[in-house]
Structure 1
Amino acid sequence: MRRGTGARAGLSPAHREARGDLPMLVVLAVLVAALTALSACAPPLIGRQQDRALRQRIAAAQTQGPLLTVGTRLQGLNTALGPANSHEPIGAVLSEVGDQLVGAAAAPLRGSLAVARTGADFAPVRTSVPSTPATAGVDSVVTGLTYLSDAGPHVRMVAGAFPAAHTAKRQDPQLALSHDAAARLGLSAGGRIGVSFSTGNGEASMDFTVSGIFEPRQTGDGFWNSRPLLDTPLTYPQPPPLGIQVYVHALISTDGVDRLMAAGLDTPQLSWQLSVAPARAAVAQSRSLAGPLAGYGAAMTAVLCQGPGGTVGCQADQEAADRFSWTDGLTPLLVAFGRERLQAEAVQSFALVALVCVVLAAAFTAVRVLLRRRDGALRLQRSRGASPLRLVLLRSAPALPVLLCAAGAGWLLGLRSAPTGGSVGPRPLWAVAATAAVWALLPLLTWVQTREPRRPRRSVRAVRHRFGGRAVLEATALLLAAAGVVALRGRGASAPQGVDPQLSAVPLVVAVVAVLALLRIYPLVLRLLAARLRRGPGVLAFLGLAKAGREATATGLALFVLVLTLGTAVFGGMVSRTVSDGAAAGAGWYAGADAVALSSGNSAPVPGVARGVKVVGEQLRAVGLTADRDGAALPDTPLLTVDARALVAADPGSPLGRALLAASAAPVRRADGSVELPVLVSPAVLAAEPAGDFVSEPFSNADHLHRVRYRPVGTLTAAELDDPALGPITDQLAPGSRLLVTGSAAAPALLQPQVAGRSAALLYGDGDDPAALRTEGAAVLGPLGTVRLRSDRLAAVRADGLVGGIQRVYAVSTGLAVCFGLLAVLLELVLTAEERGRTASFLRTLGLGGRAAGLLQLTQLLPLAAAAAAGGAILGLVEPRLLAPALNLRQFTGGPGQPALHTDYRLTGALVLGLVLLVVAAAAVETAVSRYRRLGELLRLGDA
C-alpha cells in the first residue's frame, strides 16, 4: 500500500487527473474517432455515388443518340491533286479525319473520345425504277444514298446481302433497301435501279444493283432514332397533272461512295459521331471538360483548316472541304447533372450537419459529466488561489494527447473504408476542425465553471428583470427561425451551391425553437397531472411527475438531441418516400401508360396483336393558326390528336380522357368547305388570343384543298395537363406552351401528315411482362418505334446514383445519430442520477421496494420520452413543408411538376416507438444498476 501510495504521490497532477477522468476521456475519444473517420470516408463514398450517376447519365444519353457530332461537305474535285476522278478513297478520308478529330481535343477530353460512327450522305438524286403495279401513279422517285460505318449490325437482311465493300469496275455498285421501300418501288434483291444527277459537265447517270432487302434491328443504342427514313419511305401527293412523289433512302458501301464521286457526284456530307467514355472519377473529369469542350471548335479548325502553302482552307485528308461544324450534346448534359448533383448535396447536408450536432451534443454532455465529478476539487483549488487559466490548462492538457491519438486512429480507419480513385477525396480539414471542436469544449466549460462571475450592468439587469434571460433567448431563436424560413421560401430552390449552409442551419434553428417550446409546455402539463394525482391513493406517480416537471429544464440538452435525431430521421423518411412516389409518377409521365411506342412523323398505329394490351394512338403536329376575329397569327402551335374513347376505355380515371370525351363531337363541314373541329386549348392559347375560333392554313391532300377551323370548347385544367397520357408525346414542349388537343376519331384523316411530327401508341396491359409490351410496341408503330417501359424508368430512377446517395446518407446518418443520441441521453441520466439517488434513498428508508423504485425511475423518464417523441415527429413532419420551396426533388423524379410531399407513416411510427423503448431501456438499466448499490451508500449520498 505504501508503495502504491508513493507511486501515486509521485505522479504529476496532470497524470492523476487523467487517471481519474479516464472513462469520460474514452467517451470523448470515441466521439472524435467517429468524426474523423466520417471525414475520411464519407466524402469519397458520396463522390463514388455521384461518379456512378454521371456515368449512368452519359450511357443512357448515348443510347438515344450521339453526344458529339462533327460534319462537313466536300467541295468538289480534288484541286490539290489536279485531275478529275482522283479522289482519295472515302474510307481512308473518314478514318484519317476521325483520328485528327480525336487528336484535336485537349487532354482531358481526348482520353475519353472515340469515333463511334462515320457516314457519308449524298443529296437526293432522281431515280428511275421499273414500271410495276406498285409504282402505278408514281410520278417521280427521289433517293437519298447513305453510307454508315456501323449499319451492318443494325439491319437484318431478309433477302440478298449487304452492299459489298469492293466491286469490279465492270459491275454496277450495290445498294440495299428497306423492306417497305422495296415494296413501294416494286423491287427485289438482284433488281436494278438507275440514278441521274447533275455534274459540272452536264447530266450523268449510274445504275445500281439492289444487293439485298433489310429490316431494322433494334440494338438499344439509338441508331434508328436519327435515321428513320432508312426504313420508311415518304409519299408526297402533288397537284394534278403531277402524280405522287416517293422519297426513299438506301444504304451503300464505301465502294458506292467512291464510284459516285468518280462519276462527278462528289459533294457528300461527311459526318463523324464521337462517343464519350467517362473515367472512374467522372465528376472530377467533367469539371475539367468545360474548357476543352468550349474550345474544341477552334482546336478542330486549327488542325483541319490550314491549307497547303499557308493558305487558309479546310481539308479532309487532302480533299477540299467546307468548314467543319459540330453539335455538342455533352455540355448541356454536364450542366444539368451539375445542378442535380448540387441539389443532392444540399438535401444531404441537413442530415450530415444534424449528425455532427448530435455528436457535439454528446461530447458537450460528456465534458459536463467530467467536470461534475471534479467540481469539488475545482472549488477547493480555486479557494486556495489557483487561477482559472491554470485550472483550464490542468483540465485540458491531459485530454489533448488522448484526442489526438483517437483522431489519428479514426482517420486511418476511415481511409481503409473509403474507396479510392473517385472524384472526391477525404477531408483532413474537417477532421482537424472536429477534433478541435471537441477538445475546445473542455477549456471552454472549465473556464465557465471556474471564472469569477462579473456583475452585470444595470441595463442588462433591467432587461433580465423585465423579460428574463430565458425569454430573450427564446425570442431570439424564434426570430432567427422565422427569418430563416422566410428567406429559404423566398429564395426557392434556384442556384443550389452544394452543401448549403442556410438549408442546413435553418432546420437546426427550427429544432431549437421546437425544444424551447416543449420546455415551456410539457412541464406545465406534468404539473397539472401531478396536481390531479396529489390526492390520489398512489404517491409514486405524483412524485415521479413532480420530479420530472422540476427537472425538465435540466434535461433540455437530452431533449434537443432526441428531438433533432427523430426529426432528422422522419425528414429523411419523407424525402425518401417522396422521391420513391415521385419516381412512380415521373415514370408514368415518361411512359404515359405501362409502355409507349414513339416514332417520328404522323403514322397511325396498327391494331394490337398481343392479348390483353390496349392501344391508344396519339399524334402531335405543328399547325399555323390565324384568329378568326382579329387575324392574329399563332405559328407552329402544337396540335395533339388523341383517341378519346380508347383512352377512357383503357384508363377510366384519366382526367384528359374524360374531358375529351365530354367535349368531343363529330367534325362539321361548313358551307365554305372548311371543317370545324372542336378542341381543348391550354391557358397559354387563350392568353395569346382570348377571342374567337382559329383557322389553319390550307393544304392539299390528294385531290382537294382542306381548311380546318378549330373551335375551342374548353380550357385544359392543371389536372388534365398533368395527365400521364400527355407525357411521352409532349415532354419536349416547354412548360406553359400553347397546346390544342382534340379527341375526335376523325381528326387524323383531316390533318396533314408531317415528317417533323411525332406519333405515340400508349400500351395498357400487364406491366409485369416487359417482353410482351416490347413486342406490342414494335408491332403497333413498326420496328423504328422507340419503346419506353414504365418499369424500366422506375428501375433506372431507383438505381440512380444520386437518388441512392441521398437515401443512404439519411439512413446511415440516422443510424449513427441514434447511437450517439442514446449515448448523450445516458450521459444526461448520469448527470441527474445523483438527485434521483437521493430521492430513492429517502423513499427506501420509508419502506419503498425495488419494484416501486424502478417504477419511480420509469415515471420520471417517460415524460422526457413522450415529449421527445411528440416533438421529433412533429418537427420531421412540419420542417419539409416549411422548406418545400427550397427542396427541388423534381430533378430526381421527373414528371410535369414538383412531387407532392409524402410522409412515411410506418417509418415515423416505428421511430417514435423505438425512441420510447430506448428511453425505457435506459431507465431499466439505471434501475438495475441502482439495486447493486448498498443502502448505506445511498443514505450517505442523501446526507451529502
Structure 2
Amino acid sequence: MRIPLGARAHAGTAALLAVLTVAACLLLSGIPRTTQASFDEALRRALVAAPAVETDLTVVGEVALREGELRERAQFEAADRRWRGFLPAALRPLIRPGGHMSAKTVSTPVTGSRGTTFVNLGWLSDADRRVDWTAGRRPGAPSTTSVAGTTVPVIEVGVAEEATRAMGLRVGQTRALGDSTHTVVRIVGVYRAVDPGDRAWSHDHDILHVSHVVSPLGPEEFHTTTLMSDEGLAGLRSSGRNLTYRWILPLDERAVSAQDVPDVGAAVAEFKRWPEFERTGTTSYRVITGLPPLLGDFQGALSAARTVMYLTLGGLLAVALGVIALGVRLLTDRMEHTLAVARARGGSLRQVAAAGAALTAVAVGPAALAGYALAFLLPGPVSPVVHAGPALVVVVAVAYAVTRVVRAHRTPLPERRDDLVAARPSARRVTAEALAVVLALAGVYLLRARGLSGDAGQDPFLLLIPVLLTVAAALITMRCYPYPLRLLVRLTRGGRAAVPFLGLTRAARARSTGALPVLILLPALSVSVFAATIAEGIAATQRAASWQKVGAPIKLTSDVDIPADAIARVRDAPGVDQVALALTGRAQITATGERPLAIAVELEQWRQVVGDAPVDLPALSGSASALLSPALGERGTFEIMWLAPAKLTTQGLIDSLPGFDPGGQFLLMPREALPWPAANTLLIKGDVAPADLARLVPSATVETQEQALAAIRADPLTGTVRTTLLVVTVALGLYALVAIALSLVVGAPERARTVSLLRTLGLSDRQAVRLTLLESLPLTVITALAGLALGLGLPAALGPGVDMSSYAGGLPVGDFSPSPLTPVALTAGLVLCALACAHAHQAAVRRRDLGAVLRVGDRA
C-alpha cells in the first residue's frame, strides 16, 4: 500500500486525528510546565516574604579561649571561604556570593548603670554600604587609656539615631563597659540605615534599634549595639564578655526550585552537622537557619497541589488517549476495504499491519511534534513529564492501529457479524473485571482506614485508587447498561411503533463498539466533575476562612480605646449600616492570677453585622455568662479583674472566635458585663471605603473580608490549583463531546445502511432521527450519570489524601457539595451534542441513493 496515496484518500480523517493529537500533546506538555513554574514562583515568594534571618545560613562562632579570637578582616574572609567549602553540592548553587560577617558582644553593661543600660560592641563587614553617618564621623583605630591603674583599650564607635533618642547617647561621650574587665568606648558618630527595608537587617536588628526589656523581677533595661571600624577588631577581646562571630551565607531565592525542596532540606541538615567535627577547643561553631521549617510548610502545600495535578492530569491523559484511539479506529475503519483487498491479493499480515502503522504515524507523528513544540511557548521548566506525554501519545496511537489491523485481517476476507447477537464475554474476562472492581473498593477502604504513607503525602497508593475506581465504574457501566434497555425492549415489543423497538434493540446489544466510548466518557465526566467539585469546595472554604479571619465585612481595630465621638462619626458615616462594639484586653482571674485575653462583644449587634455570612457566632445567655477556651477549662463561677472586678459564670468552651484569633487562654463575655463603656474594636457592616474609616479613627487599622479573601486567593499555589482544575474541567468536557461525536461517526456506515434500508420501507426523516437518538443516547445518558456519580464521590473517597487547607486560609476543605450548574451543564452539553450528531447523521443519510443501497446491501 502506498502511504502518500492512502494519506490523500483519508485526508479528512487524518486531519481530525492530527488536530486531536496536537491538542493532547499541548495539554500534556504545557500544563506540567506552567504548574511547575507557578510552584517555583510560589516558593520564591514564600522565601522572599520570610525574614532573611530565617532563610539564610548563619554560621555562629562562640569564642571560648583567647586563642580563638579573630582580630583582622582577613581572618573573617578566610573563615568565610572555609565555610562555603563545606557546603553540600545541592546547596552551593543556591548560596549567593557576598553576604556579610559580624562580630558582636552580648549583654555588655555600662559600668555603674546597675544593670539598666547595655552597650554592646559590634562590627559589620559591609557597614560602609549599609549605613549613612548623619553626625560626627566614622570610627577609627582604637587607642588605650588607664582605668584604676590598668591600661584598657578605647574603641571608637558609632551609635544608631534611635539610641540617641531612647538612651541619651551623644557624640563625644565616653562610656566604660563591663563590671570587672573594662573596655572604654568613645562615641564619635551617629548613623542610620541606607535602606531600612533591606532584608539583611533582620540579622542585625540590634544595630539599628534599641531593645527595651521590662522584667517583673527587676528594673527595665535598654540594650543597643554600636558599630566599630575594621581597626577596632584589634581591641575587641572575649574575656569578661560574650563574644560571638557570625558569617551570613545568603540564600539566592531566585535559584531555588520547587523540585529542589527535598534535596535542599537534606543538604541543610548535612551542613548543620559539620560543626560537630570542627571543635577546636578555642571556638565552638554551630549553624543557625529557619530554612527547614519554611521548606517543610511549603512542601506540605506543594504536596496537595501535586496530588490534585497528578489526579487531574492522569484523567486527562487517559481521556485524551481514548479519544485519539477513537480517531485511530475511525482511520483504520476507513482503510479496512483497501487493506482487505491487499490481504486477499497475497499481502502478508506484517505488510498490512505496517501499512496501517505507517499511515497512523504520518497523521500522529508530526502533530505530536507540533503540540510538543507549542508547549515550549508556555513558561516553565522542562520536566520528564513534558517529554513523556507526546511520546506516549504516539506510541499508543500506533500500537492501537497495529492491534486493530492485525485483529481485523488475521485471515483474508473474514466474515464477521457483530450486529446480530449480543457478545458473550468469556469466564476469564468476567473474572478479571470482577477482580478489578473488588480491588478498587478494597483500595478505597484501605486508603480511608490506614491514611497516607510516604514523604509529604505523595503516596503512590493515593494516585492508583482513582484509576482503579474509574476502571471499575466503567466496567460496571459497560456490563450493566444493556439490561435496563432490554427491559424497555420487551415493553416496546408489542407496540405499534417500530422505531422505539428497533432503536432500543440496537442500543441494548452489548457490542464491542460501545466499550471504548464508555471508557472515554466515564473518566472524562468523573474527573471533570471531581475537578469542579474540588474547585468549588476550595472557593467556598476560602470565603469562610476570610470571614473567620475578619469576623465582619469590615473590622476596625485600635491599640487604645476609641473615643465615643469617633464611634459616633463611624456610625454616621455614609454607607455604614450596622456597628457592633467590642473590647479586648488582658484580664486577671482573681483566684489563680492567670491573665487570659478577655473579649467583650455586643453579640446581638454582631449577628446583625454578619447576617447570613458563612461564620458561626457563639451564643451567651445572660449578661454575666462567659465562654472559655479549652486552655482555661471549666471554671464554674469565677471573678476577674479588668480595670474593675466582674463576676462571671462559665457557660461552655469554645476553640476559636471569628475575627479575633485569640489562641491560648481567652474568654468571651457580653459587653453588657463591663462596668464601663469602652471599645477598641468596631465590627462594621456597610459599603464604605476603608480609607474613609481610617481617617475617622486615625489610631486604628482597618481590615475587610474582601481584602482577606483576595489575599488568600493571591497565593501562587492557590491560583495554580484553581487554574489547573478549570483548564482540566473545560478540556475534559470538550473531550467528552468529541468522544460522542466520534463514537457516532465510527458506527455511521452501519447505521446509515440500516436507516437507508428502512427508508425503502417507508421510514420518514423524523423517524430516522429518533432511531439514531434511541440507539446512541441511552449509552451516553447512562455513562454520564455514572460519571457524575463517580465524580461527586471521588472527593469523599479520597478525603484523607487530598488536604486542600493550604489553599483555603488554613481551614479544612470538607464541603464538597457542588452547585447544580456543573452537572446540569455537562449533561445538557452531552444531550445537545447527541442531538446535533443525530441530525447531522440523518442529513448525510438523506443524500444517499436508495437504489444503490438496494443493489449493494446484502443484509437487512
The normalised TM-score by structure 2 is: 0.75
Map of 1:197 onto structure 2: 178
Please tell me whether residue 113 in structure 1 is matched to residue 92 in structure 2: no
> How far apart, in 2, do the equivalents of 1:405 and 1:280 lie?
41
One-letter amino acid of the counterpart of residue 411, structure 1: L
Give the root-mean-square deviation of aligned CA atoms: 5.7
One-letter amino acid of the counterpart of residue 223, structure 2: H
> How far apart, in 1, do the equivalents of 2:68 and 2:318 lie?
75
Task: Note the 1:589-608 alignment, pairs <5 A.
Answer: 605=560, 607=562
Please tell me whether residue 294 in structure 1 is matched to residue 269 in structure 2: yes
Task: Note the 1:411-560 alignment, pairs <5 A.
Answer: 411=369, 413-418=371-376, 422=381, 424-425=383-384, 427-449=386-408, 472=431, 475-495=434-454, 502-518=461-477, 523=482, 525-526=484-485, 540=499, 543-545=502-504, 547-550=506-509, 554-560=513-519
Given that residues 396 and 439 in structure 1 are in contact (C-alpha distance below 8 angstroms), is that contact kept between their aligned partners in structure 2? no
Q: Secondary structure at 1:742's aligned position in 2?
A: strand
Query: Percent of aligned pairs with the same residue?
Result: 24
Describe the superposition over 1:820-873 as per-residue Cα deviations: whole angstroms up to 9, x where unpaired: 444433332134334433443244334444344334434444434433433332
Describe the superposition over 1:499-555 as per-residue Cα deviations: whole angstroms up to 9, x where unpaired: 765434433433344445545665555566666677778665565445444578853
Map of 1:830 onto structure 2: 745
Q: Which residue, out of 703, 718, 721, partners 2:655?
A: 721
> How far apart, in 1, do the equivalents of 2:299 and 2:361 lie?
38
Evaluate the alpha carbon distance shift between residue 44 and residue 896 of structure 1 in structure 2; reply closer, same or farther with a 3 A threshold: closer
Evaluate the alpha carbon distance shift between residue 922 and residue 210 of structure 1 in structure 2; reply closer, same or farther with a 3 A threshold: same
> How far apart, in 2, do the equivalents of 1:778 and 1:103 lie?
53
Please tell me whether residue 574 in structure 1 is matched to residue 533 in structure 2: yes
Evaluate the alpha carbon distance shift between residue 173 and residue 359 of structure 1 in structure 2; reply closer, same or farther with a 3 A threshold: closer
Task: Note the 1:30-69 alignment, pairs <5 A.
Answer: 40-62=29-51, 65-69=54-58
Q: Which residue, out of 51, 67, 71, partners 2:60?
A: 71
> How far apart, in 1, do the equivalents of 2:459 and 2:241 lie?
58
Evaluate the alpha carbon distance shift between residue 471 and residue 211 of structure 1 in structure 2; reply closer, same or farther with a 3 A threshold: closer
Given that residues 69 and 273 in structure 1 are in contact (C-alpha distance below 8 angstroms), is that contact kept between their aligned partners in structure 2? yes
Map of 2:159 onto structure 1: 175
Task: Note the 1:756-775 alignment, pairs <5 A.
Answer: 764=683
Q: CA deviation at 1:439?
A: 1.9
Q: CA deviation at 1:329?
A: 1.5
Evaluate the alpha carbon distance shift between residue 562 and residue 79 of structure 1 in structure 2; reply closer, same or farther with a 3 A threshold: closer
> How far apart, in 1, do the equivalents of 2:56 and 2:776 lie?
62
Evaluate the alpha carbon distance shift between residue 852 and residue 254 of structure 1 in structure 2; reply closer, same or farther with a 3 A threshold: same
Q: Which residue, out of 574, 584, 600, partners 1:644?
A: 600
Map of 1:757 onto structure 2: none
Please tell me whether residue 253 in structure 1 is matched to residue 227 in structure 2: yes
> How far apart, in 1, do the equivalents of 2:652 and 2:95 lie?
49
Describe the superposition over 1:194-228 as per-residue Cα deviations: whole angstroms up to 9, x where unpaired: 6652243xx676676996999x9778999499769
Given that residues 145 and 250 in structure 1 are in contact (C-alpha distance below 8 angstroms), is that contact kept between their aligned partners in structure 2? yes
Name whichever of 367-376 and 904-913 sits farther off: 367-376
Map of 1:680 onto structure 2: 628
Describe the superposition over 1:883-920 as per-residue Cα deviations: whole angstroms up to 9, x where unpaired: 21221222333425454334243333322222222222
Evaluate the alpha carbon distance shift between residue 665 and residue 140 of structure 1 in structure 2; reply closer, same or farther with a 3 A threshold: farther
Describe the superposition over 1:361-380 as per-residue Cα deviations: whole angstroms up to 9, x where unpaired: 23443454455556678888
Q: Which residue, out of 849, 866, 881, partners 2:796?
A: 881
> How far apart, in 2, do the equivalents of 1:120 and 1:597 lie?
42
> How far apart, in 2, do the equivalents of 1:663 and 1:796 lie?
38
Given that residues 59 and 247 in structure 2 are in contact (C-alpha distance below 8 angstroms), is that contact kept between their aligned partners in structure 1? yes
Evaluate the alpha carbon distance shift between residue 866 and residue 278 of structure 1 in structure 2; reply closer, same or farther with a 3 A threshold: same
Q: CA deviation at 1:571?
A: 0.8
One-letter amino acid of the counterpart of residue 105, structure 1: L
Please tell me whether residue 362 in structure 1 is matched to residue 323 in structure 2: yes
Evaluate the alpha carbon distance shift between residue 772 and residue 147 of structure 1 in structure 2; reply closer, same or farther with a 3 A threshold: farther
Q: Secondary structure at 2:91's aligned position in 1?
A: helix
Task: Note the 1:898-913 alignment, pairs <5 A.
Answer: 898-913=813-828
Q: CA deviation at 1:123?
A: 0.8
> How far apart, in 2, do the equivalents of 1:864 and 1:516 lie?
13
Please tell me whether residue 403 in structure 1 is matched to residue 376 in structure 2: no
Q: Which residue, out of 560, 578, 583, partners 2:542?
A: 583
Given that residues 123 and 233 in structure 2 are in contact (C-alpha distance below 8 angstroms), is that contact kept between their aligned partners in structure 1? no
> How far apart, in 1, do the equivalents of 2:112 and 2:176 lie?
6
Map of 1:125 onto structure 2: 109
Q: Secondary structure at 1:125's aligned position in 2?
A: coil
Given that residues 229 and 249 in structure 1 are in contact (C-alpha distance below 8 angstroms), is that contact kept between their aligned partners in structure 2? no
Given that residues 47 and 422 in structure 1 are in contact (C-alpha distance below 8 angstroms), is that contact kept between their aligned partners in structure 2? yes
Evaluate the alpha carbon distance shift between residue 842 and residue 506 of structure 1 in structure 2; reply closer, same or farther with a 3 A threshold: same
> How far apart, in 2, do the equivalents of 1:259 and 1:593 lie?
60
Gaps of 5+ in 1: 1-11, 81-86, 130-138, 239-243, 307-311, 315-321, 453-463, 627-636, 667-677, 702-707, 731-738, 750-760, 782-786
One-letter amino acid of the counterpart of residue 122, structure 1: V
Given that residues 111 and 178 in structure 2 are in contact (C-alpha distance below 8 angstroms), is that contact kept between their aligned partners in structure 1? no
Given that residues 26 and 374 in structure 2 are in contact (C-alpha distance below 8 angstroms), is that contact kept between their aligned partners in structure 1? no
Given that residues 108 and 241 in structure 2 are in contact (C-alpha distance below 8 angstroms), is that contact kept between their aligned partners in structure 1? no
> How far apart, in 1, do the equivalents of 2:497 and 2:205 lie?
83
Q: CA deviation at 1:479?
A: 1.4
Evaluate the alpha carbon distance shift between residue 88 and residue 584 of structure 1 in structure 2; reply closer, same or farther with a 3 A threshold: farther
Name whichever of 835-844 and 520-529 sits farther off: 520-529
One-letter amino acid of the counterpart of residue 107, structure 2: A
Given that residues 57 and 249 in structure 2 are in contact (C-alpha distance below 8 angstroms), is that contact kept between their aligned partners in structure 1? yes
Evaluate the alpha carbon distance shift between residue 66 and residue 291 of structure 1 in structure 2; reply closer, same or farther with a 3 A threshold: closer
Gaps of 5+ in 2: 144-153, 412-422, 571-578, 675-679
Evaluate the alpha carbon distance shift between residue 940 and residue 48 of structure 1 in structure 2; reply closer, same or farther with a 3 A threshold: farther
One-letter amino acid of the counterpart of residue 50, structure 2: A
Given that residues 755 and 845 in structure 2 are in contact (C-alpha distance below 8 angstroms), is that contact kept between their aligned partners in structure 1? no
Describe the superposition over 1:63-114 as per-residue Cα deviations: whole angstroms up to 9, x where unpaired: 785543333345586787xxxxxx847x887777666655653454344334
> How far apart, in 1, do the equivalents of 2:273 and 2:508 lie?
75
> How far apart, in 1, do the equivalents of 2:173 and 2:604 lie?
50
> How far apart, in 2, do the equivalents of 1:335 and 1:638 lie?
35
Map of 1:334 onto structure 2: 295
Q: CA deviation at 1:193?
A: 9.0
Q: CA deviation at 1:481?
A: 2.3
Evaluate the alpha carbon distance shift between residue 772 and residue 163 of structure 1 in structure 2; reply closer, same or farther with a 3 A threshold: farther
One-letter amino acid of the counterpart of residue 311, structure 2: F
One-letter amino acid of the counterpart of residue 212, structure 2: P
Map of 1:277 onto structure 2: 252
Evaluate the alpha carbon distance shift between residue 691 and residue 328 of structure 1 in structure 2; reply closer, same or farther with a 3 A threshold: same
The normalised TM-score by structure 1 is: 0.69
The count of aligned residue pairs is: 810
Given that residues 63 and 243 in structure 2 are in contact (C-alpha distance below 8 angstroms), is that contact kept between their aligned partners in structure 1? yes
> How far apart, in 1, do the equivalents of 2:542 and 2:128 lie?
37
Evaluate the alpha carbon distance shift between residue 353 and residue 235 of structure 1 in structure 2; reply closer, same or farther with a 3 A threshold: closer
Map of 1:134 onto structure 2: none
Evaluate the alpha carbon distance shift between residue 29 and residue 726 of structure 1 in structure 2; reply closer, same or farther with a 3 A threshold: same
Task: Note the 1:211-250 alignment, pairs <5 A.
Answer: 223=202, 230=209, 233-236=212-215, 245-250=219-224
Q: Secondary structure at 1:70's aligned position in 2?
A: strand
Q: CA deviation at 1:574?
A: 1.4
> How far apart, in 2, do the equivalents of 1:237 and 1:592 lie?
35
Q: CA deviation at 1:410?
A: 1.9
> How far apart, in 2, do the equivalents of 1:406 and 1:514 lie?
30
